[in-house]
């Protein structure tokens, strides 16, 4: 038994089956968001394009976790580890990009469409660098529950290095983004509350906006919190986390895509377009409001 493989075969099977179900839910939700973006021209605005990118990344996260766990250091295991590294970090970075666009619109009243290339380089480019480093060092392998960066390489000198690698490539960026998202959304909420007069005819919209702004960073923290604690156990000398914590960590990571699809993708405009198909008639769209809510249409109910 090693730090890379201390779970029993039965425990490993339970973990895989549970994260498989969670991944399927996220896959369905993420594919739905991608479908509505591609199917309805009215949704092909810049703000929802960012949600489309986030959902696309979540699709690949779901597929990555659906790969059966391999206790051996096989090519399949290394590919899964690399895919998880790339797409989970990309997912985190895209949430910060969405937060930045909302902040730019609501607080600074600035245009953000010119940042499209920079956003893509940031959210797709940085994860690529983070993925290549462990691949070159041959650090992908079994990591209890799924394949990722291994806990050890059979050499005590590697242990500290691998801890630093995990922190630098994922956990430090993750929690910096969580803190950033919380700070940004709190500023937007205060702005909405200060401009309450602008919403006197749209009290329900204002309420939904504030609720969603609070949910965005909370979902990321709740989904990624358990795995952060799980990895803290691996940083210790013993390195053995409880089975229940590993299971909860897998659920959190894999269900994140489904929750993203609900809070980011299931907007009022999306529901209206779906209703048109179901009811087989077209309704008149509301005229755009020349207020701050226009820039926040990404989070409207």
pLDDT above 90 coverage of the chain, percent? 54
What is d(CA 280, CA 267) in angstroms, rounded to the nearest whole number? 20
Instruction: Please determine, for residue 145, whether its predicted confidence score (pLDDT) is greater than 50.
Output: yes
Instruction: Please determine, for residue 283, whether its predicted confidence score (pLDDT) is greater than 80.
Output: no
3 falls within a domain: no
Give the residue with greater pLDDT, 198 vs 134. 134
Instruction: Please determine, for residue 227, whether its predicted confidence score (pLDDT) is greater than 50.
Output: yes
Predicted local distance difference test score (pLDDT) of residue 287: 47
What is the domain range of residue 25? 9-299
Q: Any idea what the CATH number is for the domain that residue 14 is in?
A: 1.20.1070.10
2 falls within a domain: no
Can you tell me the mean pLDDT for 122-139?
96
106 falls within a domain: yes
39 falls within a domain: yes
**What is the b/e burial string over 22-36, where b = at least 16 CB atoms within 10 angstroms of the residue's CB?**
bbebbbebbbbbbeb
Averaged pLDDT score across all residues of the chain: 85
Instruction: Please determine, for residue 157, whether its predicted confidence score (pLDDT) is greater than 80.
Output: no
**What is the b/e burial string over 195-217, where b = at least 16 CB atoms within 10 angstroms of the residue's CB?**
eeeebeeeeebbebbbebbebbb
Predicted local distance difference test score (pLDDT) of residue 288: 47
What is d(CA 237, CA 252) in angstroms, rounded to the nearest whole number? 25
Which of 28-37, 65-74, 95-104 has the least mean pLDDT?
65-74
4 falls within a domain: no
pTM of the model: 0.87
Can you tell me the mean pLDDT for 285-294?
47
Give the residue with greater pLDDT, 240 vs 299. 240
Instruction: Please determine, for residue 299, whether its predicted confidence score (pLDDT) is greater than 60.
Output: no
Which of 37-51, 72-86, 185-199, 263-277 has the least mean pLDDT?
185-199
Predicted local distance difference test score (pLDDT) of residue 155: 64
49 falls within a domain: yes
pLDDT of 203-226, one tens digit each? 566 677 778 888 899 999 999 999
Can you tell me the mean pLDDT for 23-37?
96
Predicted local distance difference test score (pLDDT) of residue 291: 46
- DSSP string covering 47-111: HHHHHHHHHHHHHHHHHHHTSPP-SS--HHHHHHHHHHHHHHHHHHHHHHHHHHHHHHHHTS---
Domain count, the chain: 1
């Amino acid at each position: 038994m090693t730090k890379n493989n201390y779970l029993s075969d039965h425990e490993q099977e339970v973990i895989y089956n549970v994260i498989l179900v969670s991944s399927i839910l996220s896959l369905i939700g993420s594919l739905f968001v991608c479908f509505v973006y591609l199917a309805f021209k009215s949704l092909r605005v810049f703000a929802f394009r960012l949600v489309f990118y986030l959902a696309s990344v979540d699709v690949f996260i779901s597929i990555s976790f659906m790969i059966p766990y391999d206790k051996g250091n096989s090519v399949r295991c290394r590919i899964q580890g690399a895919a998880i590294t790339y797409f989970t970090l990309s997912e985190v970075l895209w949430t910060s990009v969405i937060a930045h666009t909302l902040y730019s619109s609501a607080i600074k009243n600035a245009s953000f469409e010119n940042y499209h290339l920079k956003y893509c380089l940031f959210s797709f480019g940085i994860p690529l660098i983070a993925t290549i480093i462990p691949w070159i060092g041959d650090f992908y392998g079994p990591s209890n529950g799924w394949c990722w960066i291994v806990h050890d390489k059979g050499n005590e000198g590697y242990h500290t290095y691998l801890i630093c690698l995990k922190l630098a490539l994922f956990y430090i960026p993750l929690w910096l983004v969580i803190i950033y998202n919380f700070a940004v959304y709190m500023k937007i909420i205060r702005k909405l509350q200060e401009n309450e007069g602008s919403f006197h005819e749209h009290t329900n919209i204002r309420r939904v906006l504030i609720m969603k702004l609070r949910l965005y960073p909370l979902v990321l923290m709740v989904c990624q919190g358990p795995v952060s604690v799980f990895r803290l156990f691996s940083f210790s000398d013993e390195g053995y986390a409880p089975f229940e914590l590993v299971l909860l960590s897998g659920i959190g990571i894999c269900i994140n895509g489904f929750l993203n699809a609900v809070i980011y993708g299931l907007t009022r405009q999306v529901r209206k377009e779906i209703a048109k198909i179901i009811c087989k008639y077209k309704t008149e769209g509301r005229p755009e409001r020349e207020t701050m809510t226009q820039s926040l249409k990404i989070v409207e109910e």
